């Protein structure tokens, strides 16, 4: 089985978060007690565990449980997900399934659909739809039925889902051993100079913002992450890339692209949701803002997926078209570039 520390794409999910501002008359008080007094059904042990995990912040800075809250402080805590059996209820959902057999299925996830319950998404997830689609699904070590891997809510594209314990083990091993094939299309800010390249930089949780990943200053920290890319198309201020994952770390493409100075277009969490290239004339500014409205998410799509079938041992490869929002945004940039 896969080691738990190598399931980062699963273990990193945060289920719920709370934020409170201390009033002007607040007496100095340990942050764990401050939060426990304000969060219904919480316990001190739960809050202290969040502190040990690095998920308590005051004024944006990570703090220990004994930090003394002062007037005006803004305290935030994020908790890991509760037991999934309390949340996994089947819901009727229209799913795009390009392939299905007795052992697995491949689903084309639309943008905006959360893969599994977590971080305030209690229902309406892909997993809820899958549970309704099947009588039962196997669970991985984190209790997420059928899920071998995942993609972010606002990333569209292909996922493989296991239907039996045997296929779960077989497919998970392929992802662990990096023998599966995953290619993404990413629209990034700036002109990427080289036609192709490789980013081999460790990734770890950002010390200032635990919701994102970044490249540690100490290259011995973090976990190995390798992204191969090649240029598909160039626009005046953007580049369309094909990115192939050699590893599958949380936010890997998003964090790597930001690290090399080419954040993904309209990626709010990684700084791509503002005009980073081009002179901000009124017409250009309006054009970019219109593109943000057309594609109100990061421009990242899981375009292709390949793996060996657990039973037949044949290699299966799947591709899916870019969704309409991505296509419409690309067409606007093509027209803009051609008319300059």
Give the residue numbers annotated as catalytic, written as ranges. 152
Q: Which two tokens stand for residue 15?
A: 């289920």
Per-residue tokens: 58: 């005051």
Exposure letters 148-159 (e unless 16+ CB within 10 A, then b) = bbbbbbbbbbbb
Query: Residue 48 gets which letter from DSSP?
Result: H
Q: How far apart are CA 287 and CA 293, in angstroms?
A: 10
How is the beta sheet containing 61-62 ordered, strand by strand? 16-21, 74-79, 56-58, 61-62
What is the chain's percent helix, strand, coil content, to nearest 5? 25, 25, 50
Q: Is beta strand 300-308 parallel, antiparallel or unpaired with respect to 156-162?
A: parallel
Cα atoms in the 13 Å half-sphere on the side-chain side of 260: 22
């Amino acid at each position: 089985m896969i080691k738990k520390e190598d399931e980062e794409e699963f273990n990193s999910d945060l289920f719920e978060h709370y934020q409170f501002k201390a009033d002007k008359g607040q007496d100095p008080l340990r942050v764990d007690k401050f939060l426990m007094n304000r969060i219904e059904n919480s316990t001190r042990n739960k809050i202290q565990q969040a502190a040990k995990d690095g998920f308590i912040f005051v004024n944006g800075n990570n703090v220990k449980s004994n930090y003394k809250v002062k007037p005006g402080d803004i305290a935030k805590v994020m908790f890991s997900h509760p037991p999934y059996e309390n949340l996994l209820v089947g819901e009727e959902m229209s799913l795009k399934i390009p392939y299905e057999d007795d052992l697995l299925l491949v689903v084309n996830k639309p943008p905006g659909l959360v893969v599994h319950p977590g971080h305030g998404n209690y229902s309406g997830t892909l997993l809820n739809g899958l549970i309704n689609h099947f009588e039962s699904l196997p669970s991985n070590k984190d209790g997420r039925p059928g899920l071998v891997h995942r993609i972010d809510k606002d990333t569209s594209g292909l996922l493989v889902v296991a239907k039996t314990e045997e296929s779960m083990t077989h497919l998970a091993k392929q992802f662990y051993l990096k023998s599966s094939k995953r290619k993404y299309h990413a629209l990034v800010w700036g002109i990427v100079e080289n036609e192709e390249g490789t980013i081999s930089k460790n990734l770890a949780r950002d010390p200032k913002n635990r919701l994102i990943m970044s490249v540690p200053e100490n290259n011995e920290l973090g976990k190995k992450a390798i992204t191969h890319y090649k240029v598909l198309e160039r626009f005046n201020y953007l580049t369309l890339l094909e990115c192939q994952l050699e590893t599958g770390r949380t936010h890997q493409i998003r964090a790597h692209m930001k690290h090399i100075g080419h954040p993904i277009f309209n990626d709010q969490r990684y700084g791509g949701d503002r005009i980073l290239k081009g002179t901000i004339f009124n017409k250009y500014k309006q054009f970019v803002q219109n593109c943000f409205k057309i594609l109100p998410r990061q421009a990242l799509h899981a375009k292709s997926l390949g793996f060996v079938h657990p039973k037949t041992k044949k290699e299966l490869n799947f591709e899916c078209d870019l969704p309409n929002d991505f296509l419409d945004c690309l067409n606007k940039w093509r027209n803009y570039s051609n008319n300059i």
